[in-house]
Structures are given as C-alpha cells and as structure tokens.
C-alpha cells in the first residue's frame, strides 16, 4: 500500500536520529503508527491492518538494534490484529490510536519508576560517569540531584553521533555539574568516578547489553578500576527472542569517522553505532520492577518471554 510522504518523513527522522535514546524513539514509533491511523483513508479493516503492518515493518527496520521499537510496534500490531474480526473500520482505528497512547504512557511511567530505583544507587558526593544519551539515565540523574545537590557527572561524547552532547547540555541546564570528555579519555577519567550508569538499547536473550558504541570499553575500564557499572532500562528493551550474536549493530556512514579522501581507498572504514557488553561486566540492571543482579537477568528474560513480551 502507498504510505503518505508525511509518515515516511517521520520514519526517516527516527532512522537518522543521533541525539535520542531507544525509549524515546520507541515512543516516537508509536506516535507514527497513531498518526497513520488518524490519517488513514482506507475502506476496509483488511486494508487498515495491511497499512499499519507495512509502516510497522519500516519502523522496525529503521533502527534494528533498538529492541523497544520492535517490541512496541509488535505489541501495537498484535493488539489490533487480535480484535480485527470483531470490530468495524472505525472501531479498529480508534483502538489503534488508544493502544498507541497506552504504550507511550506505560513507557513514560516506567522511566519515572526506574528513576526512583536508580536514584537509590546514587549517594551524596558521587561522581558518576555515563556514556551516550539515555532519557532513563537523564531522569535518574535529575531525580538524584533533587536529593543530593553535590553529585557530579562525567559525560562522554557518545560515539560518532555525539549523543552525549545533548545529555551534558540538559544536565547542566538542570544545575548538575558536568565534565564532558571525548570517548577516548574514558580510561583516563574512570578512576576519578565512583560509579558508572548507562542506558541500553537492547537486553539480549543471553543477558548481554547492546548500547551506544563505546559502552563495552567503559565497562572494561570500570571493571579494571573496581567501579560498579549499572544499566538502567525499562523491560520494553528486553529481547527474549534474540541472542547477542544476531544483533544488527547499525553500520553508519564512513564520513562520520573520517572525511572522504583522507585515507587511501583501499582502507576500510567501519562505523558501527552500537556494541555489546557482556553480562559479567555489569553490576546490575535496573528496570521498573527493581534491581536485577547478573544472576537474575536471564531468568527475568525467560519470565518476560513466558508472558509474551
């Protein structure tokens, strides 16, 4: 089916977004499906489902490393498909819109709850290092700052997409003291921190964590320095059906790494946007259900799979 230029533009924005984390982009994906439902001019339930399905496939393929986009889109499509036989076109359209609103609100509430749990991990005078830009980490650090006014944050650049710049800017505007460093300086500054807190784009079926490129190096540096390494993410980011060796790490344009013509054409330039951090390097994963220690993560994922996440 033909997809409107406006919907295609919204999908393209998600695909090329370098500033926002996976939770926010998942909510944007839900907004796209909602907008498509509102704008739909098809004449049958079958055509409506087909259109929503095609848009959903485009959203999922736009950011394949980000589990919450897959999960939120799949849940929305399943919700309307299950009711299609008992609803007319107007009702199924309304259902699609209301379910999108429900998923968006559930994600926002999950982040509020994670921020409360995450705040409990942060003490007065903590110096916290973080990497990439996570709306969940941002919320937790703001929550912690309301209780501990003298916390400090070391924020990294966040890979070629420079996503850390947004996080550093928002934290400073909120009043938190921030030191901004290049990713290559992680090892130098890790000993000045006493805690690492990052977000995630996907928790794989084997418990390994997919996040912005450089997270693995930071986890290694934290282990070497004996500093706890926490991951904050909603359960929407868990992917029970996919192990870490099957994740698309989203190779992006080489020019972000080096200007065209600066190197001989025979030199291969690689620009992955995500990497994978082994579970054994992680102190704990904080979800809206609380703190999971590494030994609990895989069983938690199995529970999510059993209830059909």
d(CA 238, CA 72): 11
Instruction: Summarize the chain as % helix, strand, coil (round to 5).
Output: 55, 15, 30
The DSSP output letter for 63 is S
- DSSP codes of every residue in 252-299: --GGGTS-TTSS-TTS----BSEEEE-GGG-SEEEETTEEE-HHHHHH
| CA 235 – CA 114 distance, rounded (Å) | 10
Whole-number Cα distances in Å, 273 to 15, 69, 160, 251, 306 = 12, 16, 8, 6, 31
* C-alpha–C-alpha distance, residues 224 and 184, integer Å: 16
Q: Which of 17, 201, 248, 275 is catalytic?
A: 201
Nearest to 20 by CA among 135, 98, 124, 108: 135
Kindly state the helix (H) or strand (E) to which residue 212 belongs, with its residue range.
strand 209-212
β-strand pairing of 202-203 with 209-212: antiparallel
CB atoms within 10 A of CB 36: 26
Report in angstroms the alpha-carbon separations of 69 from 15, 233, 261: 11, 14, 36
201 is a catalytic site residue: yes
DSSP, collapsed to helix, strand or coil, labels residue 75 as helix
Query: CA-to-CA distance for 137 and 156, rounded, in angstroms?
Result: 13
Residues designated as active site? 201
């Amino acid at each position: 089916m033909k997809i409107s230029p406006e919907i295609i533009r919204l999908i393209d924005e998600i695909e090329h977004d370098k500033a926002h984390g996976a939770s926010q982009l998942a909510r944007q994906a839900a907004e796209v499906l909602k907008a498509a439902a509102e704008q739909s001019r098809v004449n049958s339930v079958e055509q409506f489902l087909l259109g929503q399905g095609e848009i959903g496939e485009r959203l999922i393929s736009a950011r394949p490393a980000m589990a919450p986009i897959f999960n939120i889109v799949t849940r929305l499509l399943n919700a309307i498909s299950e009711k299609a036989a008992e609803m007319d076109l107007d009702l199924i359209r309304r259902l699609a819109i209301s379910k999108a609103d429900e998923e968006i609100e559930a994600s926002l509430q999950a982040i509020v709850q994670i921020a409360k749990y995450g705040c409990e991990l942060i003490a007065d005078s903590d110096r916290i290092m973080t990497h990439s830009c996570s709306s969940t980490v941002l919320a937790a650090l703001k929550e912690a700052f309301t209780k501990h006014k003298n916390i400090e944050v070391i924020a990294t650049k966040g890979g070629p997409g420079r996503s850390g710049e947004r996080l550093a800017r928002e934290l400073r505007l909120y009043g938190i003291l921030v030191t901004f460093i290049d990713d290559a300086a992680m090892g130098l500054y890790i000993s000045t921190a006493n805690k690492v807190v990052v977000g995630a784009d996907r928790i794989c079926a084997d418990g390994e964590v997919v996040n912005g490129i450089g997270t693995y190096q930071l986890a290694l540096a934290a282990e070497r320095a004996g500093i706890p390494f926490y991951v904050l993410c909603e359960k929407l980011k868990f992917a029970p059906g996919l192990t870490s060796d099957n994740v698309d790490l989203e190779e992006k344009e080489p020019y972000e790494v080096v200007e065209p013509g600066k190197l001989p054409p025979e030199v291969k330039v690689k620009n992955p946007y995500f990497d994978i951090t082994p579970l054994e390097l992680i102190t704990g994963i904080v979800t809206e259900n609380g703190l999971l220690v590494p030994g609990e993560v895989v069983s938690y994922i199995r529970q999510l799979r059993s209830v059909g996440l």
